[in-house]
Every structure is written in C-alpha cells, then in structure tokens.
Chain A
Amino acid sequence: MEQFHKLPGIGPKTAQRLTYYLVRMPKDEARLLAEAVLAVKERIVFCSQCYNITESNPCVLCADPGRDQARICVVEEAMDVLALERTGAYKGLYHVLHGVISPMNGIGPDDLRIQPLLGRLKGGAVQEIILATNPNLEGEATSMYIHRLISPLGVKVTRPARGLPVGGDLEYADEVTLGRAIEGRQEF
C-alpha cells in the first residue's frame, strides 16, 4: 500500500483500493503487471540522439527515414513528445532536455541535455530548431538561453505560437497571452 502511495497522484484511499484489487487479481495477471513494471526499469533507455525514453536505441522516431531530418523540436520532457505526436502535425525529429533551467530550484543549464543538442547541429543537416519549451518563466528562459547558444550557428530558430486555448474564455486570459494572441492574429 505504501509503495502505491509513493506514486504521483495516488492518495491513501486510492492506494488502499489498488492494493485490495491486487489481492483479488488472478495470479497470471499479477505476474504480467509485475513483469511490465520490471521491464520499464530494465529495457527503457535514453535514445543516444534525442534523449527520448525508448526501448530501442536509436528510438523509433530517430530511426524513421520518413521523418524530416532537417527539423528538431526541442521539448522539456518525454511526455511532451507524446503530446506533440498526438497532434500529427509535426513530422520532424525531437530533442528532450529532461528539465528546464530553474535557478530558484537549483537547476542550471549544465543539468540539462543542451550540449548534445549543439552536437547534433554540427553536421549542418539541420535547418530549423523549434523551441517548444513550456510557455512559462523557466521555459522561456531556457529557450532564450538555447537560442543564444544556437544563433551563431546560423540555424533558423522558431517558437510555437502563443494564444488562446480552444474552449477557453477571453475574459480570463492573462494579459501576456492575450497580447501575444492579438499580435499573432491570422486572417480569417
């Protein structure tokens, strides 16, 4: 029960419920679950190119010749790759930083995978870097920092657009979001 409680989003009640469920679970199913948990720890590695989490190295995205090799989208976490992949709108490669510059929480640029990213740009095959860090203070600072490092290399650097979320409410938008949404407006 305590082991479940350690997981993110699991409170004491949920931990109880899960434990009780395990007690009643058929042994075969329990074994599958146990093996899956172990497999995560044993088989999952970081891709040597993009640092995404993967079972094969290089990962399926880096190994896919159909993907646009001239574009790299830089994200904070592996979960962000999944989110972008779900959109189906991006066909390039990724680079996972595994964190964000956050001086107040003791995380500096050296704690992220920024150097390997610069290494990937050396070959000259990459034409565009999309800095898709989170649109908050730390994400912005990280992007500005990476931009500064990349700009001497002459690679085009872009950022995803800022604006109003689908299903959102204009009235509640903060002034930065609303300001950028108006600045970046598009013709109907």
Chain B
Amino acid sequence: MARPRIYKTQGVVLRQMPLGEADRILTLFTPDMGKLRAVARGVRRTKSRMGGHLEPLTHVSVSVAHGKALDTIAEAETIHSFRGLREDLGRVSRAIYVAELVDGFSAEHSPSPNVYRLLLEALHRLQEPSGSGQLIRYFEVQLLRQSGFGPELLRCVECRSDIEPGDHLFSSAKGGVLCQRCRPQSGEALLPLSLNGMKVLRYLQREEYAKAATLTVPQALGDELERVLGSYTRYVLDRELKSAEFMHLVTPGRSRRATGARRG
C-alpha cells in the first residue's frame, strides 16, 4: 500500500465522546476531508499533551495515523482556541449550535471547503462582543445553501411562478415560499413569512458575513425568521437540536412566544 502512514490536516473540533478509560472519539470538520472521526488517546488525563488542544470548538492542526476502524490523532497543536467564545455562556451556546448544525449537515469523507470557511468565520465573528446581529440566521441560510438546501425565495415552490410582494407562507417540506394562489392546495404545516422576513432571508442568502453582523431587525421579525429557519433545518435534519434549546435557554430577552412556537 502506497498511502503514507500519517497524514496532516487541520480542522475544527465539532464534538467529542468519551471512550474507554482516558480516550475520546473526536469529530473534526476538515477542509479537505469533510467530517473526520478519530480517536485521541489519553486526552482525559490531566497531563495529556494533546488534551487542551483538542477541546470542542478549537481550530487545530493535527497529524493523524491511519487505523483499522478509526484513525488516531498522533499530534495536535492549536491554531486558534476561540477563548473569547468559551468564557461567555450566550456565545458558547451559539457556537455549540453552529457546530451541531455543521455536524448534522456534513458527511464523512465529503470535503466542503465552503462550509469549512463558513464555520471558521462564524466562530471568529461569534467571539466579537458587539452583539451577533443576524449572524446565526446568516449561518443557517448559508449552511443550507452550501448543503444544497438553500430555501427558494424567488419563485413559488408549487407552481414556479414569480413571488409577488406581500405576505407569504413557507413550506419546510418543499424548501421554499408558496405564492398566494397555491396556499389552499397544500395540506402540510406551513409557517407565515412576511414580506420583510422574505427580504431579510434573500439579503442573507446573497450578502457577506460583515453585512449580516451589522443587520438589526425588530424582535418580532427576528422571531419569525428564527421560527422559519429552525423549522426548516429541523425538517431537513429530521431531528430536534438540543443545542438550539440550550441556546434559547441562556439567551436573555427571548420572548416565550418564540420558544413556545418552536416546540409546537
């Protein structure tokens, strides 16, 4: 076999699971291999050389040895520890949510450099103390887009006619907006999406992070976008995200309405 015994890559640690006495199974997101699961030996011991470098939400450069079932991390060195994220409950809960989304939307051995860049930029921006604006919504929209689930916001998902200005309905099952004529034909659960809500989503879909970071929307509109995108990502991933629940719990000033509707 010609492949080298050890390969080098970099990645963001998305999650970890304890394994045996002192080991962990890590899930990393890498630019060249997509999601990578690997064993890190001895990292739960206090004296582990690698332990501190392989915490979740660390941008790390690693040497990995091929293994029979799972590869093993041989060396690890932090590129960026995102310390600013870890020391604030609200920020860390958002970063965990971002990581769980990437984990859910990505597959092993399926490289996605765009999602990698999106993730790194999100973690850097979430560190900044100046409110996160619509960063989380931006991340959701862009991650959906990069994963091939970008919401259709220009044409009706039913009849393909152009969407006219006005209030509309969003269908998670069809992944986009329904025009006013197609409304009654659909028996599935639909969420209201106002004209302004749709404009913000379109804006997030085509703009840069920097713009999203400075975008502020009224609370009610923010809740509406959160409901639509939350319901859509849940539909695509086909599961509830515990990290979304935790993010709600620790983010002050969330209205009960938004939380209630999320469960309903």
Contact = CB atoms under 8 A, between A and B. Distances in A.
Given A8-B20, A172-B49, A174-B78, A103 B89 contact: no
Contacts of B83: 175-176, 179
Contacts, number: 78
Nearest to A148: B89
A113 B171 CA distance: 40
A140 interface: yes
Contacts of A63: none
B47 A165 contact: yes
A78 to B, nearest CB: 16
A1 interface: no
Interface in B24-81: 46-47, 49, 51-53, 55-57, 78, 81
A136 interface: yes
B263 interface: no
B78 A175 contact: yes
Taking chain B's interface residues, is the majority helix, strand, or loop, or is none over half, making it mixed?
helix
Interface in A8-35: 8-9
A173 interface: yes
Contacts of B86: 137, 140, 176
A172 B48 CA distance: 9
Residue of B93, B241, B242 with highest tally of chain A CB at under 10 A: B242
Contacts of A103: 93, 96-97, 100, 241-243, 245-246
Interface string B79-103: 0010100111100110011011001
Contact of A141 (B17, B52, B92): B92
B195 interface: no
Given A144-B89, A176-B52, A108 B242 contact: yes
Nearest to A111: B242
B250 interface: yes
B249 interface: yes
Interface in A145-188: 145, 148, 165, 167-169, 172-177, 179
A119 interface: no
A101 interface: yes
Interface string A103-126: 111111100000000000000000
Nearest to A106: B242
14 contacts: A9-B21, A103-B242, A104-B103, A106-B242, A108-B249, A109-B246, A136-B55, A137-B55, A141-B89, A144-B89, A145-B250, A174-B53, A175-B78, A175-B83
Interface of B: 14-15, 17, 20-21, 46-47, 49, 51-53, 55-57, 78, 81, 83, 86-89, 92-93, 96-97, 99-100, 103, 241-243, 245-246, 249-250
Nearest 5 A-B pairs (CB), nearest first? A174-B52, A103-B243, A172-B49, A144-B89, A103-B246
Given A9-B20, A141-B92, A144-B88, 12 more contacts: A8-B20, A103-B96, A103-B243, A104-B14, A104-B96, A104-B100, A107-B242, A136-B56, A137-B57, A138-B56, A165-B46, A174-B78
